[in-house]
Amino acid sequence: MSGAKTFRRAISAVVLVWALGFLWFAVALPQPADEGLLTEAVVVPTGGEGRISQGLAVLDEGLAERMMVSGVDREVKPAEFAAQFDVDEATLECCITLGFAAVDTRSNAAEIAQWVEDNGVKSLRLVTTDWHMRRAASELSRTLPDDVSVIRDAVPSSPSFPALFLEYHKLLASWTAGLVGF
């Protein structure tokens, strides 16, 4: 077999794996967690519709004792957050931490991991949009200690093809960076 033919077959195999991977990614989006699962905390990276509301529902239902919202815009004041999401002052004071350091999924993971360590959390529920869950969970798993358990609780959405296409490539980049140690 010639070198050119071998090269074409290798490229074809890579394209096939990429296409099958994208099909899996788009069709088999993560689902909400089973009802009634308890954790010490719920963590929510900002950025997608329904994430914070779902995190607050988990808190209100007593499925977690406290909540961390990562990646809050630095201009947002706690009172503004409370007003926007109808959170009473006592709940905000006792049970919700707003994180202002993160600007992307990787820094969300670092901010959450630091909060988990600072608060001695051993079990948490990650709430994020279904299309974002795999990458958020992957980044978080690289930053959390091995003894912290994570329940994935995806917020259902209707992502567009371009959003799925972009997120799939971000996931591949994240996995590649994890493999090479970035």
Note the pLDDT tens digit of each residue in 128-172: 999 999 999 999 999 999 999 999 999 999 999 999 999 999 999
Nearest to 38 by CA among 57, 58, 67, 56: 58
Contact criterion met (CB below 8 Å) for 78 and 40:
no
Domain region containing 115? 31-180
Q: Determine the pLDDT at residue 146.
A: 93
Task: Report yes or no on 7 lying in a domain.
Answer: no
Task: Report yes or no on 9 lying in a domain.
Answer: no
**pLDDT bracket for residue 86 (50, 70, 90):** very high
Q: How far apart are CA 180 and CA 80, in angstroms?
A: 41
Nearest to 139 by CA among 177, 166, 100: 177
Average pLDDT value for the chain? 94
Task: Report yes or no on 11 lying in a domain.
Answer: no
Task: Report yes or no on 16 lying in a domain.
Answer: no
Q: Determine the pLDDT at residue 178.
A: 77
Task: Report yes or no on 162 lying in a domain.
Answer: yes
**pLDDT bracket for residue 180 (50, 70, 90):** confident
Least confident of 5-14, 55-64, 146-155: 5-14
Can you tell me the mean pLDDT for 15-19? 94
Task: Report yes or no on 172 lying in a domain.
Answer: yes
Q: Determine the pLDDT at residue 142.
A: 93
Q: How far apart are CA 147 and CA 88, in angstroms?
A: 33
Q: Determine the pLDDT at residue 182.
A: 63
Can you tell me the mean pLDDT for 123-128? 98
Structure tokens at 67: 């909540």
CATH number of the domain to which 44 belongs: 3.40.50.620
- Main-chain phi, psi angles of 39, to 5 degrees: -140, 165
Q: How far apart are CA 123 and CA 46, in angstroms?
A: 20
For residue 139, the SS3 value is helix
Task: Report yes or no on 165 lying in a domain.
Answer: yes
Q: Determine the pLDDT at residue 1.
A: 61
Q: Determine the pLDDT at residue 179.
A: 79
Q: Determine the pLDDT at residue 16.
A: 95
Number of structural domains in the chain: 1
Q: Determine the pLDDT at residue 46.
A: 94
Q: Determine the pLDDT at residue 177.
A: 83
Task: Report yes or no on 10 lying in a domain.
Answer: no
Residue 54 has pLDDT above 70, yes or no: yes
